[in-house]
Structure 1
Amino acid sequence: MPDADAVAAAVARNTRRLRQERGWTLEVLAGRAGLSKGMLVQVEQARTNPSLQTLCRLAEAIGVTLARLVELDEAPAVRVVSADQAAVLWRQGESRATLLVGSDRREHVELWEWVLAPGQVHESEEHAPGTQELLHVLEGALLLEVDGTTHRVGTGGAAVFQADRGHAYRSAGETALRFTMTVVQPESDLDPAVFRSAAPDAQS
C-alpha cells in the first residue's frame, strides 16, 4: 500500500488538476468545500495528510468520488490496482478501511476493504437516498445493524442493503473481521462523503 506521503502527493496533484479544469480559484474551491484557503493550499502543496472528512468535502465539492481524488496515476481504459497501490483512508488501532477502486460512470461505485479488530464497531450516518452497499465477509464474523435490526454475516457470507438509513458494522468474532464493501450511489444523489461519520481526525 502507498504510504501517507504518496497519498498526499496524489491528492495534491488531483485536487489542483480538477480545480484548474473547472476554472476555479483556490478561494472558490475552498468555499465550496467549507475549508479555509490556507488548508486547501496545504493540500495542493502536499504539506498535510488530509483527514477523511477533508477528503470527503473536497470530493463532494468537485463532484468526483474519493477514488478519483486519491488516484495515484491517470486512469487508463483498463485500471488494475495492485495491493500496494490501494489507499488506506481510515485507520484506528488495528482497524482500517482501504479504498480499492472506484468508478465515475452514471452510478458512482466504490470498492473498499475493511478490517475491524475484535469487538470494534464503526457507526455510519445515513447516505444519500438510493445508496446501496454490498458486503462480502472474507474473514471473521460481521454483525450488521440496519435501522436497529442486527444481522449476522459469517465468513464467506454476503449481504446487500439500503445504506440511506443508519447502519453500523461490528466485528463479532475472536479474530479480526475482514470484508469487502461495494458502495453504489445514484448519480443524481451523489455524495462522495460515504464515511463522513468516521472520526474527523482520522488520517489517510
Structure 2
Amino acid sequence: MTVDELLSAKVRTLRKQRGYTLEVLAQRSGVSRSMISLIERGQTSATAAVLGKLAQALQVPLAALFADERQAQAPQPLARAAVQPRWRDPATGYERRQLSPVGFPAPFEMVEVVFPPGQRVAFDNGLRSQPLHQQLWLLQGELQLSLGTQSWHLQAGDCLAMVLNQTLVFSNPGTESARYLLALAALGASLPALPVVFPGEIDD
C-alpha cells in the first residue's frame, strides 16, 4: 500500500468511525465534499494544508493519518529507516518522514521534514479539542514561522517550542531546503515510568 493509498483509507475509516457523512466532515474541516470524496477514492493527492484541516476535523494528530494499523498488531520499538513512512506534498514539495515506530506506546512522536526554498504552508490549529505541544529543531537552512500573532526566523541549530492552538505558518525564505526535526506530544502527556516493548461505519 502506498502512502497516498494509506491516507485515503485512513480518512475514510476515521470519518466512518466518527459517524460523519461527507457533508459533515466538509462542514467541520472547510474542505469541500467533492475534494474529500476524491481523496477517499484515491483519485487525488491531498496537500499538507488539506490534510491538516482533515486531521483537525477528525480530532487526530496529522501523524495519525500516516499510521498503518496493519503494523500496529505487534508494535516494535525499532523503526528501520527503510520502512519509515515518507510523504511528499504535491503542492509545495514538502517532504515528511515519520520517524517514530508505528503503534509503539510513547507519549510523543518524532517527524523529519525537508521544506523546499520559496515555499509556504499554513495549518489552522484553532479547532483542536486538545492542543498539541511541538518542538522544532532546525538542522539545516532557515525557516520563518508564525503562530497566531507571533513570528520567528530560525537558523540552523535553533529549537522552537510551541503550543499548536492557533494558525501555524511555515515558510522558507532561503535558497536551500530547510531540514528540521519535530517532536509532538499532547498537552499533559507524561513519560512512562518504565519503557514499553509504540502520534488520525456509516456509508455516505
Sort the TM-score into its range (normalised by shorter chain): 0.5 to 0.7
State the partner residue of 2:86.
87
1:25-36 matches, within 5 Å, as 28-34=20-26, 36=33
Give the superposition deviation at 1:98: 0.8
For the pair 1:112 / 2:108, whether they are aligned, the reply is no
State the partner residue of 1:163.
164
**d(CA) in 1 for partners of 2:34 and 2:171?**
38
Cα distance change of structure 1 residues 77 and 152 upon mapping to structure 2, 3 Å threshold: same
**d(CA) in 2 for partners of 1:32 and 1:17?**
15
1:65-91 CA distance string (max 9 Å, x none): 333333344323226263564232524
Aligned letter for 2:24? Answer: R
State the partner residue of 1:6.
2
Aligned letter for 2:3? Answer: V
Aligned letter for 1:77? Answer: P
Equivalent pair of 1:107/1:184 in contact (CA under 8 Å) = no
Equivalent pair of 1:19/1:29 in contact (CA under 8 Å) = yes
Equivalent pair of 1:97/1:112 in contact (CA under 8 Å) = no
**d(CA) in 2 for partners of 1:39 and 1:147?**
27
With the length of structure 2 as denominator, give the TM-score of the two structures.
0.60
RMSD (Å) for aligned C-alpha atoms? 4.1
Cα distance change of structure 1 residues 147 and 6 upon mapping to structure 2, 3 Å threshold: closer
Q: Structure 2 regions of 5+ residues with no counterpart? A: 27-31, 189-199
State the partner residue of 1:98.
96
Cα distance change of structure 1 residues 136 and 83 upon mapping to structure 2, 3 Å threshold: farther
Of residues 31, 45, 50 in structure 2, which corresponds to 1:49? 45
Aligned letter for 2:62? Answer: L
State the partner residue of 1:77.
75
With the length of structure 1 as denominator, give the TM-score of the two structures.
0.60
Per the alignment, in what secondary structure is the counterpart of residue 49 of structure 1?
coil
Give the superposition deviation at 1:33: 1.3
**d(CA) in 1 for partners of 2:118 and 2:48?**
22
**d(CA) in 1 for partners of 2:149 and 2:15?**
41
State the partner residue of 2:194.
none
Q: Structure 1 regions of 5+ residues with no counterpart? A: 193-204
The total of aligned residue pairs comes to: 178
